[in-house]
Each structure stands twice: as structure tokens, then as C-alpha cells.
Structure 1
Amino acid sequence: MKRFLLTLLSVFVLTFQAEAQDLDKENTLYMDLKDGRVVIRMRPDLAPLHVERIKKLTREGFYDGTPFHRVIRGFMAQGGDPTGTGMGGSNYPDLPAEFSNALHTTGTVSMARSSNPNSANSQFFIVFKKAAHLDGQYTVWGEVVDGMNFVNRIKKGSSMNNGQVTNPDKIVKMQVAADVQ
């Protein structure tokens, strides 16, 4: 039995390593959190404008050190606002919606926006578990393919202080995999 479990585990690890090596590095993000690395497969087939924006901001270092200002257990973690208030964004213009039939399941990465569907800019959220009420309403641009256990550990800050969450978890560093040596 022990040998069977070890064989099964080896097959799983080798399969995962093969899948990770098969990722298109130009459309893969490494998001380093305090607990470890999250690997996100970007989906330019679903949202080419949003993927280009995420890559541009990532390459500029925009996301490095930004907080997860909104974390709702059992729902999602939202970040990408350098002000930490949920009101900030980049200096680039907002993007038009690129809604698709992609479902919001565990690990889905979508753009945050206001009530205006064409207001996405830099903020995004990662879904902790299925959230069907978001389907077709938000632009899905990626999916977590490794490190969801680290996403699940993102903590909500302790309180609001002048519109900011105090002591939130932050993105340590975000990189496009193609740029990593």
C-alpha cells in the first residue's frame, strides 16, 4: 500500500511538473506572496486587452508591494490598488469590458471594476471558490495553476484607518515568467 501511494504521488508530481513546463512563459505570472509563489496562467484568448495591461503594469513593477485591500473569506481576495483604499489604479485609461463565458471557479482571476462595466484598470481579484453570480459580469483574464494554498492564506487587514486597511497582506513581487532568468 505504501509503495502504491508513493508511486501515485510520483506520477502526480511528474504530471504537474510537465504541465508547469508546458506553460507559455509570456502568458504566465509569478506572484510572490509572504507564504510562497502563486503561478497564474493568463488568458489572452479571453481578454487580450486586460492581459496586456496586467503584463505592462507587472513589468513596470506596479504591483510590487501593493496590498490585498479587500479579502472576503470564502469568496475572494482583491488587490492591485497602490493606495490600499480600493479607489486607486494606474495612470492608464480604464479598459473596456471583455466579458466571456469563463466561469468563476476556484482560482479564477478577474478584473475588479466599479458599477460601470468599462471601468477596470489595475485592480483584480482571485476567487477562493465557485462564485457563479460573477459569471459574465467581470472580465476573466487568468487562473491560478499553482499556489492556491498560498492564496487561501491571504489575510484581511485588521481595520480601516483613513480609508486604508492596516496590516494587509501584500504582493511581494509580481513577474512575467518570460522575464525571469
Structure 2
Amino acid sequence: MQLRPKYWVISLMLLSVLAIAGCSGDLSAPESDGSPTATDVTASPVASADPDRPFDGLPSLEGQATVQMTVNGSPITINVDGTKAPVTAGNFVDLVERGFYDNLTFHRVVREPQPFVVQGGDPLGNGTGGFIDPATGEERQIPLEITPEGESEPVYSRTLPAAQINKPPELQHTRGAVAMARSQFPDSASSQFYFTLADLSFLDGNYAVFGYVTEGMEVVDTIQQGDRIDSARVTQGLENLKR
């Protein structure tokens, strides 16, 4: 959906004041555009022996999976798409399977001046935290992963404009999309995710969508800042997760 002119003004306002955090770090780091980004732009990139394969050693989802997240006693069903975002989807499903999201809060909810996002997944609850991998003792971060429309392989570590690909992503920010927050550094997403409350096409190509709410969007619409995730469970497709 194309935003009408007045909505572009509102969108720019949101981008100028809203910082959606996605990894731990220095809160004094600049927050330049306010879109789904983390506060730490100095975070280390994903470790990989091959810079052309920033996903080496990370979980991946080879196919589809279904996650049921319960908030305030009500279920939200998420279809997680590993066919278009295997690393981003694999990271999320892996964290769900670990029970990482259970009892975490939604630390940021933005509905004014227009419906925007509901964000959670920060273990610190303040927008600066991420998943600390017990195997390494360090925060696990994943590369920005976007598959252009009609392509079979994702683009890694670059936004679509930066990659000079004049195609929209296969997975777009329509209402009910589930995507990863990150910092200005592309490869800085960790555990924080957000639900989109409206069609937000101006985020397409800059942040990695990995699934969609298929049931329970009315539950997402009622989430308030401070509400907790009761539980999150993989109900289908766990066999597609490769660690």
C-alpha cells in the first residue's frame, strides 16, 4: 500500500523520533532515523570465516514453521518463513525453542500519531538487550537478510537500496508482519522483533521480515507497553530448524 502524502509526513516524524532497539550497547550512540534500529551502532559484526557467508555457524530454517505466542492469556499464531529468510527465521525459531522469549516484556508500543509497531524480545526490558549465546558468552547477532522479489537467494548485510536492486523484497512490511530490529549497522539484529500494526512499506528493504501473524492480530492490537509474553512455542516445522 502506498502511503498518502500526509502519511509520508507522519512516517518521517516517526523515523526521526523512534528508535527500535535491537542489540545491547552504548545508549549514547546516535539514533539517526528512528526506524526499527538498535541504539548501538558499534556492535561487532557476525563472526564468519568467509565475509561472503555471514550466516556460517548460525541456525537456519529450511522451510516453514509455526510459532504460537501467548500474550495476556491469548494466542498469536505466527507463520515463520525460512524459504525467503532462512537465517532470520532460524534465529527466531531457535530462540523460541530455547524458551528465550517466555516472560519477556514488550518494551515499546507505538500507535500514535499512526499505528506503527509493537516490539519485544529484549531480555533487559529497556531496548538495549540481546540473546547471549551460552556457547560463546557473547551476544549472537545475525546478518541483515532480504530476498528481492523473484530471486532465489537473499541479499546479506546490505539494504536493498545499498545493493542497488530495484525490486521490492519478497517479504514486505504489510500489517501483521514480524521482523527483526537492528542498529544502523546492518548485521546487528539479535533477539528483538516487532509486529507491524499497519502497512509500512517505507521500511521494506531496510529491515528483515521473517514471518506474518496468521491468527490473533486482534491480540497484537491490544498489547500495551510492559505486557509480557506468557510463552512462545514451535507447534509445527521444528524439524526444519538446522543448528
- On whether the aligned pair clears a TM of 0.5, the verdict is yes
Task: Provide the identity percentage.
Answer: 38
Measured in 1, the distance between the counterparts of 2:184 and 2:93 equals: 24
C-alpha distance after superposition, 1:111-163 (max 9, x if no partner): 0001111101100000000111100100110000000000000012xxxxxxx
Deviation at 1:35, TM superposition (A): 4.7
Deviates more, 1:51-60 or 1:135-144: 51-60
What stretches of structure 2 of length at least 5 have no aligned partner? 1-62, 134-139, 148-168, 239-243
Equivalent position of 1:169 in the other structure: 227
- Identify which of 131, 134, 147 aligns with 1:90: 131
Equivalent position of 1:130 in the other structure: 199
Measured in 1, the distance between the counterparts of 2:237 and 2:71 equals: 18
Measured in 2, the distance between the counterparts of 1:99 and 1:179 equals: 21
- Identify which of 73, 76, 79 aligns with 1:41: 79
2:145 alignment partner, SS class: coil
Measured in 1, the distance between the counterparts of 2:132 and 2:109 equals: 24
Which one has the bigger helix percentage?
1
Deviation at 1:103, TM superposition (A): 1.6
Q: Which runs of 4+ in 1 moved over 3 A?
A: none
Measured in 2, the distance between the counterparts of 1:179 and 1:140 equals: 18
Matching residue's letter, 1:141: F
Measured in 2, the distance between the counterparts of 1:179 and 1:154 equals: 27
Deviation at 1:178, TM superposition (A): 3.1
Task: Note if 1:65 corresponds to 2:103.
Answer: yes
Matching residue's letter, 1:174: A
Deviation at 1:26, TM superposition (A): 6.1
Could you tell me the TM-score, scaled by structure 2's length?
Answer: 0.57
Could you tell me the TM-score, scaled by structure 1's length?
Answer: 0.76
Q: Kindly indicate whether the alpha-carbon contact (under 8 Å) linking 1:46 and 1:140 is maintained by their aligned counterparts in 2.
A: no
Q: Kindly indicate whether the alpha-carbon contact (under 8 Å) linking 1:42 and 1:143 is maintained by their aligned counterparts in 2.
A: yes
Equivalent pairs counted in the alignment come to 145
Equivalent position of 1:164 in the other structure: none
What stretches of structure 1 of length at least 5 have no aligned partner? 1-24, 157-167
Deviation at 1:179, TM superposition (A): 8.6
